Chains A and B, each alone.
Chain A
Amino acid sequence: MASDSHAPAAAIRPCTATDPPCPIAPLHNLPIPPPSHFAHLYKPNAINGKTIVLGIEGSANKVGVGVLCYDPISSTYQTLSNPRKTYVSPIGCGFLPKETAWHHQAHIVPLIRAALNEAFPNELNPEQHLSAIAFTLGPGMGGPLKSCAIAARSLSLLWKIPLIAVNHCIAHIEMGRVATQASDPVVLYVSGGNTQVIAYSDGRYRIFGETIDIAVGNCLDRFARVVGLSNDPSPGYNIEVMARKHSMDKPLKFVELPYVVKGMDVSFSGLLTFIEELTRRREFIKDDEERQSENQFTTADLCYSLQETIFAMLIEITERTMAHCGQNSVLIVGGVGCNRRLQDMMAEMVADRGGTLCAMDHRYCIDNGAMIAQAGMFGLQYGSTEMVVKLEDTECRQRYRTDQVEVVWRPKTRGKHA
């Protein structure tokens, strides 16, 4: 999360994200892909019949390109390269579609070049190894999505390889499943634009719980803006750092905030209004001074209380989904999933139920190109007519629900915990 820094557009050099190298992910309990129905559309790589897909992501403030390779001999997926750039907006601002789109347009070509160079060092025509190009169709912000889609379309025409349209949420889930080998987890998807509890049932990823208003990441970001925390590397990260001032000998104050769980759904907008109002109170100490009296509270207190409250809400709806579906493994994906406190709380809840929490990993928590390639690879290998699209069907969809996609690569479990 803190790893990629924003370089000004002027100083673009080929570079890759500084995330740790991605290990090879064996298939384990995931099914072995069948020979594709799309053999006429794509040719596996000449060397050992590998399938290699380039993925392009740019639905929010991150633009990333990943190269993913499937090796049929070892049945493994391997990320060959996965560089990424993040648009960081100034303090007090969110990232606006127009500027974000410009950012992505400036970085996409160097990123593609960097990804290919890293994946195929010293090759003159690295594109000849690619079987297809996967890109994010949605959901996300229109401008940034379109900027990346244009790049994907151009390359597809230039290199004469098929295009695969990928749902961003599905990409998170699939990368998470491959990376953690959790075959059928309950997924908590928490990011700047999405808050969903998802479980697979009968050919689709179904949304069991979600936010009724704003996304959890959005709530955190907006609060960070109100109290003037930096957007670098991300507002949520800075809130987490503030909240970590809490310790046994110097506990932060827990300020009670509205806790809104409705069925399996959550709501954050009332809480956000409430906490914004708190910052206008006289008892609120903005600067890092000590509390003078009992009823005062600091920015750190609010950060801590905000995290404790909204994460408890998320854990609660996740647990309700687990109970409902009889599932006992949990996977957290999306940017907010990097938060350690959320991870710890989830681990505690899951342990109580005798289940397992999949380890957190940048490969699927933070938006990146490889995860788009991963979902795209599945779509290609299992011949999803929905995903392997013609050029004219590649118009981006800002609203593209997780449950709209038919998940052809997973077995139909008829009626299972529908």
Chain B
Amino acid sequence: MSKILSSKPWYGPPPPAEVTCGSGKLLSQGAEARIWLLPVPLPTPSPSTSTNTDDTTDGRGHVINYQSDNKNASIDKAMTSSIRTLHVGGGIHVPHIMHFSQLSTHLASTSNSSSSQQHPPSPTVIIVKERFSKKYRHPTLDATLTKNRTKGEARSLIRCLKAGVSCPQVLGIAHWPASATSINNNNTGTTQKTTTSSCLFLEWIEGCTVRQYLEHRSSSTTPSSLNELDDDSSSNTPNTKRHRCNNDCNDDNGDESPIPSKQPDRITTPIDTQTLCVARTIGQLVGKMHAAGIIHGDLTTSNIMLKNPPWAINSDGGSSSSRCGETIDGDDANNNIPLLDWRPQLALIDFGLASSTTSTTTAANNSSNTNKQQHNAEEKAVDLYVLERAFLSSHPESERLVEELLGGYRDYFVSLDGSTDVVVVGKDDAQDVTVTAAASCDIGDKVDDVTATGTSPTTRPSKGKHGHAAKMILNRLEQVRMRGRKRECFG
């Protein structure tokens, strides 16, 4: 990648001037989108106490917070400060940024509402995800895909936020024409197409990707590999810096269970309590997302952020206040750190290929809808399969992590069959009238659970509706894996 980008900082059409002319910094050039880190000038926000409930395994506080304050507040504010909103589908509206100047006004107005203080420093730095147009495809298809993926990403993110799935806040959306330079470049007499680039403004998640975390954990000799953080797609190189299993297994983490290295000089992924815990938490987070009826569509270790990399904790005792790439220095990085009570805080990103399951589980309750239920299970299984493949192809010998992840996934569903969750989520449902069909379906399901399994709510938790759903999905995953092998056949 760095090879490709050596001459220009980016490829594809030039980005909108608004993004480049400021002090926007290119964080990542992906195949279809560029990620910019953009400082936005803000008036000083009103101080407020923040309840930081970032526990990804149980973000219920988060949910209520978002439900009760943030959604209404930010969107009302957007309305009152005369920023129009854009319907992104599913009854969800997102502030529509027409001019760059609106962005800071809008951010200022939302940052006054207490809710967005979940992340203490006010969002003076934001992420712009700019989807650019692809010349190779039909203009209609291109425009549709670019716009719809951005809208869809916003929609899925908001659905996740509503369901308490940790992911970046959506600050706004824009469809800007590509900057003038592209038009000047193109005066060759060929037909001139005006291309649009769609921008999604997101909360900046500090930390690093799980991929960077795992790669970093397997490299002790050259921990500087994380300095390549800016080039996410340095996906190509870091593996060469990975270190060998037999060194890495010396981590002093309680009851680690390192894989005995048959070939000591192969690069492997460390398996210890810490990485296992990360894997399990990923499983729980994905489970939560699936339970809310959202399919990610592109689950990889680069699309899951770790907000509190353990090295950051070590250096400043609790909060990860700077990007891992900056705090890391050679020695901290791999000497471990008493991390007994370290719990990974994760966030899902990159919902560009996300979809939501359209069927309602309530309908499935009438058992008239087994087909749709099957379809749901299939989509979720494929989502898990994509993640599994991403793990196994990017992180050699990470089978154990995948296993742990799937365990976490199952456990999350099983935990839904307990009675405590039902009350809380049911309350959400009551509070939020504009909850989408997909989100409400599972909530409805949970409410049903109270009545259905009310007599014996905790005695046989795995036999509950959700436990059953998880079982169905995981069985389906087995089928998808098999089919992966069958695909070679003619059909």
Compute how far the CA of A325 lies from the CA of B235 in the bound complex, rounded to whole angstroms.
7
Contact A194 B135 (CB under 8 A): no
Compute how far the CA of A212 lies from the CA of B477 in the bound complex, rounded to whole angstroms.
13
Chain B CB within 8 A of A340 CB: no
Contact B488 A312 (CB under 8 A): no
Given contacts A263-B300, A354-B11, contact A415 B138 (CB under 8 A): no
**Residue numbers in B under 8 Å from A349 (CB-CB):** 134-136
How far does the Cβ of A332 sit from chain B's closest Cβ, in whole Å?
Answer: 14
- Count of A interface residues, CB-CB < 8 Å: 58
Compute how far the CA of A212 lies from the CA of B379 in the bound complex, rounded to whole angstroms.
11
Contact B236 A326 (CB under 8 A): yes
Chain B CB within 8 A of A26 CB: no
Closest A residue to B5 by CB, please name it: A354
- Residues 321 to 347 of chain A near chain B (Cβ within 8 Å): 322-328, 345-346
Compute how far the CA of A325 lies from the CA of B240 in the bound complex, rounded to whole angstroms.
12
Contact A60 B31 (CB under 8 A): no
**Residue numbers in B under 8 Å from A345 (CB-CB):** 136-137
Given contacts A192-B490, A308-B138, contact A353 B236 (CB under 8 A): no
Contact B4 A353 (CB under 8 A): yes
Chain B CB within 8 A of A348 CB: yes
Contact B300 A316 (CB under 8 A): no
Compute how far the CA of A355 lies from the CA of B487 in the bound complex, rounded to whole angstroms.
30
**Interface stretch (choices B47-55, B67-75, B253-261, B388-396):** B388-396
Chain B CB within 8 A of A214 CB: yes
How far does the Cβ of A210 sit from chain B's closest Cβ, in whole Å?
Answer: 6
Given contacts A254-B140, A259-B145, A352-B12, contact A399 B488 (CB under 8 A): yes
Contact B490 A141 (CB under 8 A): yes
Chain B CB within 8 A of A416 CB: yes
Interface string of B262-276 (1 = CB under 8 A from A): 000111000000000
Contact A308 B141 (CB under 8 A): yes
- Residues 211 to 238 of chain A near chain B (Cβ within 8 Å): 211-215, 218
Compute how far the CA of A324 lies from the CA of B353 in the bound complex, rounded to whole angstroms.
17
**Residue numbers in A under 8 Å from B489 (CB-CB):** 139, 193, 398-399
Given contacts A193-B491, A263-B353, A354-B7, contact A323 B30 (CB under 8 A): yes
How far does the Cβ of B218 sit from chain A's closest Cβ, in whole Å?
Answer: 9
Interface string of B373-397 (1 = CB under 8 A from A): 0000000001100100110011110
**Residue numbers in A under 8 Å from B30 (CB-CB):** 323
Contact A315 B136 (CB under 8 A): yes
Compute how far the CA of A256 lies from the CA of B487 in the bound complex, rounded to whole angstroms.
27
Among B1, B267, B486, the residue within 8 A (CB) of A399 is: B486
**Residue numbers in B under 8 Å from A308 (CB-CB):** 137-138, 141
How far does the Cβ of B479 sit from chain A's closest Cβ, in whole Å?
Answer: 12
Contact B236 A261 (CB under 8 A): no
Compute how far the CA of A265 lies from the CA of B297 in the bound complex, rounded to whole angstroms.
10
Contact B11 A352 (CB under 8 A): yes
How far does the Cβ of A218 sit from chain B's closest Cβ, in whole Å?
Answer: 6
How far does the Cβ of A201 sit from chain B's closest Cβ, in whole Å?
Answer: 8
**Residue numbers in B under 8 Å from A248 (CB-CB):** 191
Contact B144 A256 (CB under 8 A): yes
Contact A262 B134 (CB under 8 A): no
Interface string of A273-288 (1 = CB under 8 A from B): 0000000000000000
**Residue numbers in B under 8 Å from A316 (CB-CB):** 31-32
How far does the Cβ of A392 sit from chain B's closest Cβ, in whole Å?
Answer: 23
Contact B490 A315 (CB under 8 A): no
Compute how far the CA of A415 lies from the CA of B386 in the bound complex, rounded to whole angstroms.
20
| Contacts A/B (CB < 8 Å), 30 sampled | A210-B484, A211-B487, A213-B491, A254-B138, A254-B140, A256-B144, A259-B145, A262-B382, A262-B383, A263-B353, A265-B386, A308-B137, A312-B138, A319-B32, A320-B31, A323-B30, A323-B31, A323-B235, A324-B233, A326-B236, A327-B236, A349-B136, A354-B11, A355-B4, A398-B488, A415-B266, A415-B267, A415-B396, A416-B240, A417-B235
Across chains A and B, which 4 residue pairs bring their CB atoms closest together, nearest first? Answer: A326-B236, A263-B386, A415-B267, A348-B136
